[in-house]
């Protein structure tokens, strides 16, 4: 098992948002989470990566069998957990390339590998950027500063490719993307899909799921997983909405 979430409870401020959630993410599988706005999907991802706003009040999260709830965010990241941000923050003056290389080499060091030199790094970054339809100049710009919505999302995927994580959480990576961007992002995802990796794709739309075929669909509502099924759940949702699934319970 890649990730086991057991009876998880978490709050932001005084408000409990994750309310006894159970979820298992299998190694080598693509899991999708769908659910109405405000259900707690983003909060769940934030809890997994150790976001400072979220306080875990009960339950546990095991990553490859090890509890991570008390770990610093960077430690979780180094162990192989990646989350794409819904709204990546701007960092003026820090070039995308410098940031990426620092992150990649932090991970390599953690794994006891030699750091990538500038040439190796650039070759790799340019290749992936090309795959994602990003201009090479994007690497020299300040991190996320003045990036369009689509550019930010592609850049998140670029980071994913470079860091080569094991558990990949994509929070609304498809929101606001035009069809070309969506295809590029999906291509990036499919590029590193492997029996060793697990995806958790949070989305409102079936569009992306047509490109990245999920093995499981989970419906999240009011801080809990209320239904788990196969790809057919998406069709059902599209036809009948969350309401129907709720009533079915």
Partner 1 sequence: MNEEQKKIQEVVSREYELGFSVDIEEETAPPGLNEDIIRFLSKKKGEPEWMTNMRIQAFHIWQKMEEPRWAHLKYDVIDYQSISYYAAPKKKPKSLDEVDPEILRAYEKLGIPLEEQKALAGVAVDAVFDSVSIGTTFKEKLKEMGIIFCSISEAIKEYPELIQKYMFSVVPMSDNFFAALNSAVFTDGTFVYVPKGVRCPLELSTYFRINAQNTGQFERTLIIADEGSYVSYNEGCSAPMRDENQLHAAVVELIALKDAEIKYSTIQNWYPGDEEGRGGIYNFVTKRGVCAGENSKISWTQVETGSAITWKYPSCVLKGDNSVGEFYSVAITTKAQQADTGTKMIHIGKNTSSTIISKGISAMRGQNSYRGLVKIQASAQNARNYSECDSLLIGDKCGAHTFPYLESKNASAQIEHEATTSKISDEQLFYLRQRGINEEDAVSMIVHGFCKEVLANLPMEFAAEAKDLLNLTLEGSVG
Ligand X SMILES: Nc1ncnc2c1ncn2[C@@H]1O[C@H](COP(=O)(O)OP(=O)(O)O)[C@@H](O)[C@H]1O
**Which CB sits closer to partner 1, 93 or 195?**
93
Does position 45 bind Mg ion by CB under 5 A?
A: no
Query: By CB under 5 A, is residue 84 in contact with Mg ion?
Result: no
Residue number, 50 or 214, with CB nearest to partner 1: 50
d(CA 9, CA 19): 5
**Residue 200 beta carbon to partner 1: minimum distance, rounded to whole angstroms:** 15
- Integer angstrom CA distances of residue 202 from 44, 62, 95, 104: 10, 20, 28, 25
Nearer to partner 1, 103 or 131 (CB): 103
Torsion sign over Cα 45, 47, 48, 49: positive
- What's the start-to-end Cα distance of the chain, in Å? 27
Task: Name the H helices within 166-206.
Answer: 179-192
Reading the block at residue 82, the tokens are 């990646």
Nearer to ligand X, 3 or 78 (CB): 3
The residue ranges that bind ligand X (CB under 6 A) are: 12-13, 15, 17, 35, 37-43, 53
| Among residues 18, 35, 42, 237, the one that binds Mg ion under rule CB under 5 A | 42
Is position 155 an interface residue for Mg ion (rule: CB under 5 A)?
Answer: no
What residue 65 binds from ligand X, partner 1, Mg ion, none (CB within 5 to 8 A, per partner kind)?
none
Give min distance, CB of 152 to ligand X, in A.
18
Q: Rounded to the nearest whole angstrom, what is the least distance from the CB of residue 125 to partner 1 in the complex?
A: 14
The beta-strand segments (E) located in the chain are 3-12, 15-25, 30-34, 54-63, 66-67, 81-84, 91-95, 142-143, 167-171, 198-202, 216-221, 224-229
């Amino acid at each position: 098992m890649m990730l086991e979430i057991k009876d998880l409870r978490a709050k932001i401020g005084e408000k409990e948002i994750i309310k006894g959630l159970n979820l298992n993410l299998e190694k080598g599988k693509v899991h999708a989470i769908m659910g109405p706005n405000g259900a707690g999907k983003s909060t769940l991802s934030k809890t997994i990566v150790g976001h400072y706003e979220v306080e875990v009040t009960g339950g546990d999260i095991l990553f490859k069998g090890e509890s991570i709830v008390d770990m610093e965010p960077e430690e979780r990241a180094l162990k192989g957990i990646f989350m794409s941000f819904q709204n990546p923050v701007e960092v003026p003056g820090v070039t995308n390339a410098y940031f990426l290389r620092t992150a990649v080499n932090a991970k390599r060091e953690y794994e006891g590998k030699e750091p990538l030199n500038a040439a190796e790094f650039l070759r790799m970054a340019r290749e992936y950027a090309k795959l994602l339809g990003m201009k090479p100049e994007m690497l020299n710009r300040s991190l996320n500063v003045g990036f369009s919505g689509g550019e930010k999302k592609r850049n998140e995927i670029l980071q994913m490719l470079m860091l080569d994580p094991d558990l990949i959480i994509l929070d609304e990576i498809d929101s606001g993307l035009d069809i070309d961007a969506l295809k590029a992002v999906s291509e990036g995802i499919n590029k590193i899909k492997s029996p060793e990796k697990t995806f958790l794709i949070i989305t409102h739309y079936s569009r992306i799921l047509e490109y990245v075929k999920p093995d499981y669909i989970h419906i999240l509502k009011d801080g809990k997983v209320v239904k788990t099924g196969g790809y057919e759940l998406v069709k059902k949702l599209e036809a009948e909405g969350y309401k129907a699934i709720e009533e079915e319970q």
